[in-house]
């Protein structure tokens, strides 16, 4: 884990409310595994005394690391206002990583901003696996490349939530492993549908330190409250006490 | 070069900067050398493991941070068997153990347990956590209770005995004087203020515990005033904290009477706050040909 101030290599607006930021750093790029995240913020005065935002790694190509970020609040708005060459503050990589399966039939399910860590995971899973990637969002602005898309308003792909066909799918096909990331309600539903298949979820939480010292980002599990930033963000779904979330 | 060294009641510190309990870990030494920190203060431990409060536990306001952690920790036994070994091995700076209890008996049992172990330079007695019922703050708001507790603990140790005070009291000077009379060797302040946030769309509290702890930039003027009042009321050294983000902030607290300062919430918004404060203080004092001890309490 290192702390750096790095220039933005590239920043692109993706549809109405997502941005993709790319930075170049050999150390960071070589240390990242799917599921890891960084604490990031714009290096501008107004953000100086604000918390960092935890952002999962979206893509790594050689020394470049990309983040796909939905612009939601002040911190992400400040990131979206950056231009090439502007600086951001960043530390990481943080958290644990998805266990990488081999020779497996894998179902990946993401919702909304849960897409980036799974897209990165898909790239790192080797060709011995057979992967089906489902992604859903509110509308066509929240859809990204995958095998099957869902939108709640029906503006792209299948109309409805991403979990709606999974129970039927499991009757027809068997999977060795599920990977997921997305809103809590989606994960909760998914965990019920897919149990007892091994299921790894990437959890999201409001964070302060990002390194495990403040205990601010916990989720309820059968081992007590565990830190998303340090014990996670990847958890076995069966460990999480979904009813309490 | 100016001297930044300072003294608590029983120990000397090479740097006047400490970390505030619960906001720091050895992970931060990935970012800077530990010698910049005067002493390492642990997260508060309790006799038995504490599960802490349910999430959500954090909310960032316009001017600081709300937290409802609730002293989640693995308990004294686990601390002694695991963390203490690692910390003693790793640290080159004094180790101060922060602890809290639900009863006077618990405080005493904890101190007795900790006294059996070497490598601990001092204790920070947390009688001021606002996020746990009948614990912490329940002890810190009544001068008689503070005096009785501190007197019993002081008899059991020759180590630095820091009593951490709450700002959520009518007259902090009275509490500080009670701690001093009981045998505290230093005072630290402030723990978090009471704070709250409500989601205006849903009417729901932002955090699982509605009234929780408020720290960070917004509490600095309060912390400064309480530091000033306390430093004038007692003879023992004061470790001040509350919203310190820069070396300029730190200077204000030294002028107000602090012998040392601690960085808490600022570690989150800038993991390099501690080394930046250290370097800023050093530059400022060197330019004026002063040592830190020359300015402590010299507000005019």
From chain A, pick out residues whose CB is under 8 angstroms from the CB of B69: 214-216
Domain regions of chain A by residue span: 2-94, 105-244
For residue A106, the model assigns a pLDDT of 98
Contact B51 A224 (CB under 8 A): yes
**pLDDT over 90, % of chain B:** 94
Model confidence at B129: pLDDT above 80: no
Q: Is the ipTM of this complex over 0.90?
A: yes
Classify residue B293 as exposed, middle or buried by CB count within 10 Å of its CB (0-12, 13-18, 19+): middle
What the block records as the tokens of A60 is 């790594």
Contact A49 B216 (CB under 8 A): yes
Instruction: Encode pLDDT of B61-108 as tens digits.
Output: 999 999 999 999 999 999 999 999 999 999 999 999 999 999 999 999
DSSP3 helix / strand / coil % (chain B, rounded to 5) = 35, 20, 45
Please tell me the total number of residues recorded for chain B in this structure: 300
Instruction: Tell me the shortest Cα–Cα distance from B234 to chain A, in angstroms.
Output: 31
Q: Are B154 and B210 in contact, with CB atoms under 8 Å apart? A: no
Q: Are B278 and B3 in contact, with CB atoms under 8 Å apart? A: no
Residue in chain A lying closest to B20 (CA): A214
CA torsion B177-B183-B189-B191 (nearest 10°) is -110
Model confidence at B139: pLDDT above 90: no
**B6-295: CATH architecture:** Alpha-Beta Barrel (3.20)
Contact B245 A219 (CB under 8 A): no
| pTM of this structure | 0.95
> A interface mutation test: which of B20, B58, B132 has the most A CBs within 10 A?
B58
Contact B55 A208 (CB under 8 A): no
Q: Which residues, in sequence order, are CB contacts of A73 under 8 Å at separation 6+?
A: none
Contact A214 B56 (CB under 8 A): no
Mean pLDDT of chain A: 97
For residue B134, the model assigns a pLDDT of 59
Instruction: Tell me the shortest Cα–Cα distance from B22 to chain A, in angstroms.
Output: 6
Instruction: Tell me the shortest Cα–Cα distance from A143 to chain B, in angstroms.
Output: 28
Instruction: Encode pLDDT of A57-98 as tens digits.
Output: 999 999 999 999 999 999 999 999 999 999 999 999 999 999
Model confidence at B130: pLDDT above 80: no
d(CA A174, CA B14): 63
With an 8 Å Cβ cutoff, the interface of chain A facing chain B consists of 1-3, 48-52, 91, 205-209, 211-220, 224-225, 244
Q: Would you say domain A105-244 falls under CATH 3.40.50.2300?
A: no
For residue B2, the model assigns a pLDDT of 82
The class (CATH top level) of A2-94 is mainly beta
Give the lowest-confidence range in A22-31, A187-196, A214-223, B139-148: B139-148
Confidence class for position A4, pLDDT limits 50, 70, 90:
very high
B129 is catalytic: yes
The catalytic residue among B37, B39, B110, B129 is B129
From chain B, pick out residues whose CB is under 8 angstroms from the CB of A95: none
From chain B, pick out residues whose CB is under 8 angstroms from the CB of A216: 57-58, 67, 69
Query: What distance separates the 2 farthest-apart alpha carbons in chain B?
Result: 57
Confidence class for position B1, pLDDT limits 50, 70, 90:
confident
């Amino acid at each position: 884990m290192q702390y750096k101030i790095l220039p933005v290599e590239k920043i692109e607006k993706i549809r109405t409310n997502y941005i993709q930021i790319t930075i170049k750093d050999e150390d960071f790029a070589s240390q990242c595994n799917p599921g890891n995240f960084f604490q990031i913020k714009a290096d501008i005065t107004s953000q100086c005394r604000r918390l960092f935002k935890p952002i999962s790694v979206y893509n790594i190509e050689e020394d470049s690391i990309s983040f796909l970020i939905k612009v939601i609040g002040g911190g992400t708005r400040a990131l979206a206002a950056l231009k090439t060459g502007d600086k951001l503050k960043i530390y990481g990589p943080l958290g644990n990583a998805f266990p990488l399966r081999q020779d497996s039939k894998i179902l990946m399910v993401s919702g909304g901003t849960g897409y980036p860590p799974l897209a990165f995971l898909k790239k790192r899973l080797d060709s011995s696996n057979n992967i089906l990637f489902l992604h859903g969002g509110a509308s066509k602005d929240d859809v990204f490349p995958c095998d099957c898309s869902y939108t709640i308003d029906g503006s792209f792909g299948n109309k409805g939530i991403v979990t709606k066909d999974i129970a039927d799918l499991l009757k027809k096909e068997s999977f060795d492993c599920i990977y997921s990331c997305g809103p809590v309600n989606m994960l909760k539903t998914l965990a019920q549908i897919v149990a007892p298949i091994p299921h790894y979820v990437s959890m999201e939480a409001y964070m302060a330190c990002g390194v495990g010292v403040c205990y601010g980002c916990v989720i309820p599990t059968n081992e007590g409250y565990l830190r998303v930033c340090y014990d996670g963000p990847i958890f076995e779904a069966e460990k999480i006490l979904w009813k309490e979330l | 070069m100016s001297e930044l060294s300072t003294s608590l009641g029983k120990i000397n510190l090479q740097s006047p900067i400490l970390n505030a309990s619960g906001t720091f870990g050895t992970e931060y030494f990935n970012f800077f050398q530990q010698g910049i920190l005067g002493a390492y203060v642990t997260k508060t431990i309790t006799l038995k493991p504490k599960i802490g409060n349910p999430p959500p536990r954090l909310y960032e306001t316009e001017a600081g941070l709300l937290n409802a952690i609730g002293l989640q920790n693995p308990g004294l036994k686990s601390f002694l068997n695991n963390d203490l070994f690692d910390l003693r091995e790793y640290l080159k700076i004094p180790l101060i153990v922060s602890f809290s209890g639900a009863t006077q008996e618990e405080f005493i049992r904890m101190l007795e347990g900790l006294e059996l172990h070497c490598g601990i330079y001092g204790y920070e007695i947390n009688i001021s956590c606002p996020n746990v019922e009948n614990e912490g703050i329940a002890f810190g708001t009544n001068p008689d209770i503070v005096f009785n507790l501190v007197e019993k603990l002081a008899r059991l140790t020759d180590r630095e005995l820091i009593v951490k005070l709450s700002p959520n009291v009518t007259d902090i000077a009275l509490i500080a004087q009670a701690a001093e009379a009981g045998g505290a060797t230093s005072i630290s302040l402030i723990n978090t203020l009471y704070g709250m946030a409500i989601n205006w769309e849903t009417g729901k509290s932002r955090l699982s515990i509605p009234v929780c702890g408020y720290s960070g930039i917004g509490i600095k003027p309060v912390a400064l005033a309480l530091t000033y009042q306390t430093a004038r009321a007692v003879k023992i050294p004061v470790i001040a904290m509350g919203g310190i983000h820069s070396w300029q902030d730190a200077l204000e607290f030294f002028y107000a009477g602090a012998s040392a300062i601690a960085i808490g919430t600022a570690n989150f918004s800038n993991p390099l706050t501690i080394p930046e404060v250290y370097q800023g203080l050093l530059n400022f004092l060197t330019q004026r040909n002063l040592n830190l001890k020359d300015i402590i309490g010299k507000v005019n």
